[in-house]
Amino acid sequence: MRTTTLNGQEIDFDVTGTATDEPALLLLSGWCQDHRLFSRVLPILAEERQVIRMDWRGHGRRRAVADDFGPAEMADDAVALVDELAVRQVVPVSTSHGGWANLELADRLGAGRVPRVVVVDWLVGRASPEFVAGLRTGYHPDTWREGRQGLFDIWLDRSDSPDVRRHLEEEMAGFEEEMWTRSCRVIEAAYARWGSPLERMLAIKEERPIAHLFSQPGDLAHRREQRAFSARHPWFQPRWLGGPTHFPTLDSPELISEAILAFTAGAGR
């Protein structure tokens, strides 16, 4: 990974692929994850597109951050990186609650530079009381480890995938209390402000296609809610991948890569 300084923050990134077709892909993780989340999809995507992986501030080599931050500051850094790399058009692909910053990025750059958006495995409906309670457990100083383990158990869902287990037990568990508690606070605040990711999408300044590629939750009610929303707003394109965990880039890399590439190809039409 290379390092640059943007908005006074050290940001790690890399650029892979020599394809000249626009738009490029910008891969953005969720909280307490880094570029390794995309290690299995990168070779597939880079065969057809230029691919940029970016670690959020405090998520790369330097894990300490002096000031608090949330989706607005994360979008600041993503915009600055796209500008520094002189990328004319980009499709941002975010996972989980990296989606809040993704939509902010799309608003900042406009539909001309961000013609399409991909969000992956995001709780796009309203937060349930149980989910909010879990977030509060996750940011309490006495229970944050318990809250983290509760999320790990849901996300793994008894899968025996070695890639997912390594991602949880080594990569995500490598982040300290400060980042984990911040993530839970920021996510709760985002739902309180917008209601849900779907409602945030309705507030986007310029309409454009948004794909949601997901495996969890896999229940029928969750899928029906998204199909109903898509029927009212055809620019929203949900696709259930049916994978075993919360991490389709690790457990279903070929399937999600093909979905991303097919969706991105439509940006030139």
Structural domains in the chain, CATH included, are 2-126+196-268 (3.40.50.1820)
What does each of the 269 residues of the chain score in pLDDT, given as a tens digit?
A: 999 999 999 999 999 997 778 899 999 999 999 999 999 999 999 999 999 999 999 999 988 887 899 999 999 999 999 999 999 999 999 999 999 999 999 999 999 999 999 999 999 999 999 999 999 998 999 999 999 999 999 999 999 999 999 999 999 999 999 999 999 999 999 999 999 999 999 999 999 999 999 999 989 999 999 999 999 999 999 999 999 999 999 999 999 999 999 999 987 54
Alpha helices in the chain (DSSP H): 42-45, 71-84, 99-113, 129-139, 144-156, 162-166, 177-194, 197-202, 220-232, 248-251, 253-265
Q: How far is CA 234 from the centre of its chain?
A: 22
How far, in Å, CA of 55 to CA of 53, rounded?
A: 7
Active-site pick, 35, 97, 212, 246: 246
Which pTM was predicted?
0.95
The b-or-e profile of 105-120 (16+ CB within 10 A means b, else e) is bbbbbebebbbbbbbb
Instruction: Look at residue 6 and give its three-state secondary structure.
Output: strand
How far, in Å, CA of 134 to CA of 114, rounded?
A: 33
Specify whether the CB–CB gap between 210 and 141 falls below 8 A. no
pLDDT score of 268? 58
246 is catalytic: yes
Q: How far is CA 225 from the centre of its chain?
A: 20
pLDDT score of 14? 97
